């Protein structure tokens, strides 16, 4: 199993992922890790319907996601993993998912969030998990779409964001 | 003619400014039109798009949501927001012909037939008119 992209994107399955990144990275499976959606068959169907037919799709809870990635480590699969929040990605890391880097791609403005980059707005709750991921040696790469602006998020930037809340 | 005069409403949700411009063009062709609203997903989180659609749906009764792109955040938000509203029609692939057909027929055509007619009209508008050799 190759984790071709682990992306935090509040829109989850949408064009930037299914057209932009999927065309570029050719994943064989899109794995959406979200406890609420995984527990709701109707919502799962809504999200799964947006995935192109040539890509397999799994919508799993965080615990099931960690177990799936461990179980399929030897399988020839190219997985594109999505979570809606930094906290969920950090939770997967604590459950043993061996991330090398995480893509911050679609974190839109909503009430109480502050801008780090034009496509990365962070809430106060996002900062401790960002720090945890950096402390684990995981690289945080902000990039919305393939070929778009790339930005490596470091501890100093997270510290500066902490000072803004 | 349908009874009850209020025209069926439609919300056009697209990426960028497409929805606003399409409605502008419809009004350029037909004159001022009631009950058409534009929404963009630009800069909005998934939760905020869904909340905005829910707010538009707060008014009861039949309504349409027309979306630019099947499989995108606009389509997902519309489906999630209209989960318990079977009287709301959701159609992806909005184009100018679809909107013009909707406004033309919404007062004279009942719901399932209206859906069929505007999808047919929007598909017929996609046609090759040059050789392309």
CB A16 within 8 A of CB A25: no
Looking at the partner chain, which of B44, B69, B80 has a beta carbon nearest the beta carbon of A46?
B80
Residue A92 has pLDDT above 80, yes or no: yes
How far is B42 from chain A, CA to nearest CA, in Å?
A: 9
Q: What's the mean pLDDT in A22-37?
A: 98
Judged by CB atoms closer than 8 Å, whether chains meet at B45 and A13 is answered as no
Q: Supply φ then ψ for residue A162, to 5 degrees.
A: -60, -35
Helix (H) or strand (E) holding A7: strand A2-9
Q: Which domains does chain B have, with CATH numbers?
A: 10-81+90-124 (3.40.50.510)
How far is B5 from chain A, CA to nearest CA, in Å?
A: 34
Q: Using CB atoms and an 8 Å cut-off, which of residues 71-90 of chain B contact chain A?
A: 71-73, 75-76, 79-80, 83
Residue B116 has pLDDT above 60, yes or no: yes
Q: What's the mean pLDDT in A77-88?
A: 98
> Please, what's the largest Cα pairwise distance for chain A?
45
pLDDT of residue B111: 86
CA A101 vs CA A38, A80, A123, A140, B100: distances in Å:
24, 13, 21, 6, 48
Beta pairing partners, A3: A79
What percent of chain B shows pLDDT beyond 70? 96
Q: What's the mean pLDDT in A40-50?
A: 97
Residue B3 has pLDDT above 80, yes or no: no
Closest residue of A to B68, CA-based?
Answer: A15
**Cβ neighbours around B13 below 10 Å, total:** 30
Instruction: Provide, as residue numbers in chain A, all residues whose Cβ is less than 8 Å from the Cβ of B71.
Output: 13-15, 18, 49-52
Residue A65: pLDDT band with limits 50, 70, 90 = very high
- SS3 state of residue B77: helix
Q: For residue range B33-88, what is the model confidence (pLDDT) as tens digits?
A: 999 999 999 999 999 999 999 999 999 888 999 999 999 999 999 999 999 999 99
Report ipTM (2 d.p.): 0.89
Residue B4 has pLDDT above 80, yes or no: no
Task: Give me the count of residues in chain A.
Answer: 165
Judged by CB atoms closer than 8 Å, whether chains meet at B46 and A84 is answered as yes
Q: List CB contacts of A150: < 8 A, sequence separation 6 or more.
A: A141, A142, A143
Residue B5 has pLDDT above 80, yes or no: no
What percent of chain A shows pLDDT beyond 90? 99
């Amino acid at each position: 199993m190759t984790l071709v992209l682990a992306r935090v994107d509040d829109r989850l399955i949408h064009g930037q992922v299914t057209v932009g990144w999927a065309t570029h990275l050719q994943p064989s499976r899109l794995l959406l890790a979200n406890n609420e959606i995984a527990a709701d068959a109707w919502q799962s169907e809504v999200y799964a319907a947006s995935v192109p037919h040539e890509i397999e799709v799994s919508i799993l809870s965080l615990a099931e996601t960690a177990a799936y990635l461990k179980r399929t480590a030897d399988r020839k699969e190219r997985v594109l993993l999505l979570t809606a929040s930094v906290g969920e990605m950090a939770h997967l890391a604590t459950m043993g998912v061996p991330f090398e880097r995480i893509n911050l791609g679609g974190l839109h403005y909503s009430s109480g969030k502050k801008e780090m980059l034009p496509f990365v707005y962070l809430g106060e709750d996002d900062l401790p998990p960002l720090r945890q991921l950096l402390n684990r040696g995981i690289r945080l790469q902000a990039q919305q779409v393939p070929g778009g602006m790339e930005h490596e998020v470091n501890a100093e930037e997270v510290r500066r964001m902490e000072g803004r809340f | 003619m349908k009874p009850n005069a209020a025209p069926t409403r439609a919300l056009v949700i697209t990426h960028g400014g497409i929805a606003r411009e399409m409605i502008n063009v419809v009004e350029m062709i037909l004159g001022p039109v009631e009950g058409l609203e534009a929404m963009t997903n630009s800069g909005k989180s998934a939760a905020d798009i869904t909340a905005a659609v829910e707010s538009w749906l707060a008014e009861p009764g039949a309504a349409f949501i027309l979306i630019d792109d099947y499989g995108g955040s606009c389509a997902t938000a519309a489906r999630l927001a209209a989960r318990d509203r079977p009287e709301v029609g959701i159609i992806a692939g909005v184009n100018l012909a679809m909107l013009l057909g909707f406004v033309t027929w919404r007062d004279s055509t009942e719901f399932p037939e209206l859906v069929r007619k505007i999808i047919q009209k929007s598909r017929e508008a996609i046609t090759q008119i040059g050789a392309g050799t």
